[in-house]
Structure 1
Amino acid sequence: MEQAEIGLIGLGVMGSNLALNIAEKGNRIAVFNRSPEATRKFFAEAGDLQKNIIPCETLEEFVAAIRPPRPIIIMIKAGDPVDQQMELLKPYLADNDIMIDAGNANFRDTMRRFDNLKDSGLTFIGMGVSGGEEGARHGPSIMVGGTEDSWKRVEKVLTSISAKFHDEPCVAWLGENGAGHFVKTIHNGIEYADMQMIAEIYGILRDGLKLSAPEIGQVFGKWNEGRLNSYLIEISEKVLKANDPISGKPMVDVIVDQAGQKGTGKWSVIEAQNMGVAATAIEAAVAGRILSSQKAEREAAEKILGLPQTTAMPTTDGVSFLDDLENALLAAKVAAYAQGFAVMAAASREYNWNLPMPTIAKIWREGCIIRSQFLDEITSAFTKDPDVANLIVTPAFAKLVNDTDASLRRVVSTAIMSGLSVPALSSALSYFDAYRRGRGTANLIQAQRDFFGAHGFDRVDGVDKHHGPWGSGLADFA
C-alpha cells in the first residue's frame, strides 16, 4: 500500500475537517482516533476522498502507514492531553519524525515540548490554525513555528490546504519553537478586541439609537461594502438578520449576554504585560468578557444602582452619526492591530524569532477570523518599513488615525454621556492620546515613587541628581 504523506490524530470537528481538506487537495493521509468507532465513522462518511485516506485503529499501524520522516498532526484538546499523546507516540517514532501540535496551545508549552525533544532525534512544530471549522475544511490561515528543516518537510502539504489570497497561500514559517503559536495567540487577542468593539457599536445602535437587530444588520451590511470589509462584519450582518426558528424573534435577541473564552485573549494580555507593551484594547476585551460572565451580579447591581441618568443620543442627524460610528470602529480597529503587532515585535526581539511582520499580515488576509481588507494596507505599511516602532506612525495609518479621530471622540463621548459601556472603543481613544503626547503625566508618578520608596527618577535637564527634596517623607520608607 502506498504510504501517506502525513498523519493526523484526533477526529473531532477540527481534526476531521482538516483531514478532509488534506485529502481533497490530493495528499494521502493516515488518520487515527483513540476511539476506533470515530475513525470508522469518519472514513465511512469521507465519500470519494476515501482513496486518499488510510484509516488506522492502532498507533503502531498508524505510524507505519506514513512515509518517513513522518509528520504527524495532533489535533486534540490543548494542554496535558497533547503531552500524553506525544508520550504514547514516541515508542513508534524514528529519527527526524515530526510531531505537530495544531491546537490552540500556549506558546510556552510549545517551547517546552520543542526543547524536550532536542536530543531525542525527534522534532516538534507548533502550528497555529485559524478559520474555525469552515477554514479547516476549505482553507485556513496557518502559522508555523519549528525548525526550518521540519517546515520544508510539510511545506507542500500545508501550502496546498491553506487559504489563498489572490493565489498567494496564507501559510508561512515564522521562526523557531513557539513562534507560530505565539502569533496565533496574538491573532486571537486582536480577534477579541475586534469582536468587543463591534459589540460596543452594536450596543450603541441597539440601546442608544433603538434600532432592531435586522436594522443593525443592514447597517453592518453597508459598512461591509467599504473600508470595514471583513469576515467579522460580514458574519455580524448575517447573525443580526437571522431569526430564531422557535420564537420567531431575531436570533441574537434570545441569546444570553455571556461571552465564553478559552484563554488565548488572556494569554495575549499576560504576554503583552510581561514584555512591557501596552495592549489596552485587548485588555478591555478580555475584561469585557469577564464582566459579561457575571450576569447575576450585573442584574442584582442594576436593581440596586439603577441605570445612570443620561443625555439623549443623537436622533435628528442619524446619517452623520452612523458615519461617525463607522469611522470610530475603523479607528479602534487600527489601535487593536497596532497593539497586537507591537506585542509580536517585542516577542520577536525577546525570543530571537525575527518574526516577519509583512508576512504575518499577508497570511491573515484570507482564511482566518480577523481577515479584512484592512490587512492589505498593513502588509503594505510593514513592507515599506518592517522595523517601524508602531503601525500608527506609518504614513498611511497616521493619516487614517487623524482622519477618524474626531469621529471616535464623538462616539465615545456620546456613549459615555448616554450611559453605554464602551471600554474597548474608549481604550483605543486613550491609547492614541497617550501615544501621540510627547510629555505625559508619569513625572508625577515618578515623584510619588521616589517620595514613598526612594525609587529615583531622571531629570529633563540631565542633571545627575535622582531624588527629590522630600525630607522626612523618605524616612517613612526606611
Structure 2
Amino acid sequence: MGANLARNFARHGYTVAVHNRSIGRTENLLAEHGDEGNFIKTESLSELVEALERPRRVLLMIQAGSAVDAVIEDLLPLLDEDDIIIDAGNSHFADTRRREEYVASKGFHFVGIGVSGGEEGALNGPSIMPGGSEKSYESLGPLLESIAADYNGEPCCSWIGTDGAGHFVKMVHNGIEYADMQVIGETYDVLRTAAGKEPAEQAQIFRDWNDTELSSYLIEITAEVLGHQDAKTGKPLVDVIVDAAGQKGTGRWTGISGLELGSAISAIAESVFARSLSSLGDIRTEAQQKLAPALGEVPSVGEDFVEDVRLALYASKLVSYAQGLDMLQMADSEYGWELKLDEIAALWRAGCIIRAELLDTIMKEYAGANPPANLLFAPRFTEAMATAVPALRKVVGVAAAHGIPTPVFSAALAYYDGLRRDRLPAALIQGQRDFFGAHTYKRVDEPGAFHTDWSGDRREEKMD
C-alpha cells in the first residue's frame, strides 16, 4: 500500500521522495513505475527529510507497533518546526493519541490517518480518515483530498477530529467490515446447506442482489469468488480454500474498545470470535468426531427462502452499521472528538471495503437537524427492519435446525429484540449482584439505590 500511495501522489502531480530500509525495493518501484510521475530516490531518512519542501510531510506506511515509535525517534532530530509526521498504517488509536501528544511536545505535528481500500484503493483512490490537529490538516488536507476516492465529485477525505480520531474511525470501519464479511459468509452457508444452492448458482444470486439495496463492493466480489472455478481441480474455488479466516488486529481492537466503552457491538464482536473459532484446526477436527449433532428431521425450505435470506442479510447489515455508529457516538463522548457521523458515512461511500449504496442513505439520515439516536430509529430503516426481521427470525430458526452456525445473524436478531423489549432479564442480574456483592439496585417506582439484607432479615434499605 505504501508504494501505491506514493504512485497515487505522483500521478496527481506531486514530487514524491521515497525511502525504504531495503534500497532494492525503492529501486524496483522506480524501475517499474518511475515514469508515472516525479520521484526522488533516497537512501536514508536524513536524505529523505532533506528532499522534502517545508513544512515537511513525512508519510509512514509501516507495521503498527514499536516500529512506528522507532521511526519517530529517528525522524525527530531531523525535523524543523511545524513539520508533520503521518502514520498511515493501522495503528491502535491509543498509540496515536500518545504519539500525537509526544510529537507535539517536540514542536512538530503527528497525524494518524486511516486508509481503507487495500492496495487497489491506495493506487486509484482510497477512503481517507485523518486525525491530528486542525492546523496540520490545513497543510495536509489538500494533498490527501486530491488522491482520495471520489463520490459524485466529493473527495472521500475530511478531517475527523483530534489526536487518535482518524485511526479510531478506521478501526470501527474495519469492525463493520468484519461483521459484513461474516454475515455474507453465513448467507452463503445457509443457502448452500439449507437451500441446496451451489456456489455457481449463488454467484448469480449475489449478482442479482447487487442490483438491490444490498448493492456494495463486498456483495460484488462475493459473486466473483463464488463464481470462480479452481483450475487445478475443476471445483468451485471456495471448496479448495482452507476454512480458517485470518485477521490483523483491527477487528479485535474494535471488540475490546466496544467493551471498554460499554457499547453493545455484539454482531461485530461475534464476527471476530467466528474468525478465531475458524482457526482452531485441531480442536475443530476433534469436535467433528466427538460433538456430532443428532439433528433428527430438519425443515425443508422453498424457493421463497432465498428472498428470506436476502432480507435477513439486509437487516443484519443495518444492525452492524447501527452498532458501529453507536460506538462512534460513545467514543465521541469519551474522548471529545466532536465526530460528525454524516461526514464519516460520506467518507465510506467510495474507495473503502465497506463502500455501499446504503451509506449514501445513512449519511443523509445523520445530516439533518434531528439525527437519530440509533440508526434503526431513522424512519426508513425502522420500516425496513419491520419488513426484514420476520425473515431474519425464519433464517435463524432454519439455520439452528440444520446445525448451521450463524453468529452474526443471531446476534443481530438478539440486538434488535434487546432494543425493542420492554423488560429485560437484567433486573434479575441486578438482584443477583446485590445478593452476592451488595452492589445495590434501582426500583421502577421511586428514585435512589437500594439494597436488600439477603443474609439477615431481608429488609430493604435505601442507600445514600
| TM-score between both structures, scaled by the size of structure 1 | 0.93
In structure 2, what residue type is equivalent to 1:309? L
Q: CA deviation at 1:279?
A: 0.3
SS at match of 2:442: coil
Partner of 2:397: 413
Q: CA deviation at 1:396?
A: 1.5
Would you say the 8 A contact 1:162–1:171 is kept in 2? yes
1:167-197 CA distance string (max 9 Å, x none): 1100010000000000000000000000110
Partner of 1:372: 356
Would you say the 8 A contact 1:328–1:404 is kept in 2? yes
In structure 1, what residue type is equivalent to 2:344? I
Greater mean alpha carbon deviation, residues 434-443 or residues 267-276: 434-443
Q: CA deviation at 1:473?
A: 8.8
In structure 1, C-alpha distance between the alignment counterparts of 2:150 and 2:370, rounded to whole Å:
23
Partner of 1:466: 450
In structure 1, C-alpha distance between the alignment counterparts of 2:98 and 2:178, rounded to whole Å:
26
1:419-462 CA distance string (max 9 Å, x none): 11101100000000001113222111111111111111111110
Partner of 1:29: 16
| TM-score between both structures, scaled by the size of structure 2 | 0.96
C-alpha RMSD over aligned residues: 1.5
In structure 1, what residue type is equivalent to 2:345? A
In structure 2, what residue type is equivalent to 1:81? A
Change (3 A) 1:445 1:232: same
Q: Does 1:194 align with 2:174?
A: no
Q: Does 1:441 align with 2:400?
A: no
In structure 1, C-alpha distance between the alignment counterparts of 2:105 and 2:458, rounded to whole Å:
54
Partner of 1:11: none
In structure 1, C-alpha distance between the alignment counterparts of 2:348 and 2:90, rounded to whole Å:
16
Residues 57-136 of structure 1 mapped to structure 2, 5 A cutoff: 57-136=43-122
Change (3 A) 1:304 1:26: same
1:152-171 CA distance string (max 9 Å, x none): 11111111110011111000
In structure 1, C-alpha distance between the alignment counterparts of 2:448 and 2:95, rounded to whole Å:
45
Change (3 A) 1:224 1:458: same
Residues 326-365 of structure 1 mapped to structure 2, 5 A cutoff: 326-365=310-349
Change (3 A) 1:311 1:53: farther
In structure 2, C-alpha distance between the alignment counterparts of 1:25 and 1:290, rounded to whole Å:
41
SS at match of 2:115: strand
In structure 1, C-alpha distance between the alignment counterparts of 2:297 and 2:157, rounded to whole Å:
49
In structure 1, C-alpha distance between the alignment counterparts of 2:270 and 2:309, rounded to whole Å:
19
Change (3 A) 1:463 1:371: closer
In structure 2, what residue type is equivalent to 1:346? M
In structure 1, C-alpha distance between the alignment counterparts of 2:29 and 2:291, rounded to whole Å:
54
In structure 2, what residue type is equivalent to 1:29? V
SS at match of 1:470: coil
In structure 1, C-alpha distance between the alignment counterparts of 2:273 and 2:386, rounded to whole Å:
28
1:201-257 CA distance string (max 9 Å, x none): 111112222222111111111111111100011000000111112222111110010
In structure 2, C-alpha distance between the alignment counterparts of 1:86 and 1:312, rounded to whole Å:
60
Partner of 1:141: 127
In structure 2, what residue type is equivalent to 1:431? Y
In structure 1, C-alpha distance between the alignment counterparts of 2:75 and 2:449, rounded to whole Å:
62
Identity %: 46
In structure 2, C-alpha distance between the alignment counterparts of 1:215 and 1:444, rounded to whole Å:
48
Please, which runs of 5 or more residues in structure 2 have no aligned partner? 460-464
1:320-348 CA distance string (max 9 Å, x none): 11110000000000110000000011101
SS at match of 2:239: helix
Greater mean alpha carbon deviation, residues 330-339 or residues 295-304: 295-304
SS at match of 2:334: helix
In structure 2, C-alpha distance between the alignment counterparts of 1:60 and 1:287, rounded to whole Å:
44
In structure 2, C-alpha distance between the alignment counterparts of 1:165 and 1:323, rounded to whole Å:
30
SS at match of 1:100: strand
Partner of 2:462: none
Partner of 1:293: 279
In structure 2, C-alpha distance between the alignment counterparts of 1:321 and 1:441, rounded to whole Å:
33
SS at match of 1:174: coil
Residues 5-404 of structure 1 mapped to structure 2, 5 A cutoff: 14-49=1-36, 51-315=37-301, 317-318=302-303, 320-385=304-369, 387-404=371-388
Greater mean alpha carbon deviation, residues 449-458 or residues 461-470: 461-470
Partner of 2:439: 455
Would you say the 8 A contact 2:187–2:313 is kept in 1? yes
Change (3 A) 1:244 1:473: farther
SS at match of 2:21: coil
Q: CA deviation at 1:296?
A: 1.7
Please, which runs of 5 or more residues in structure 1 have no aligned partner? 1-13
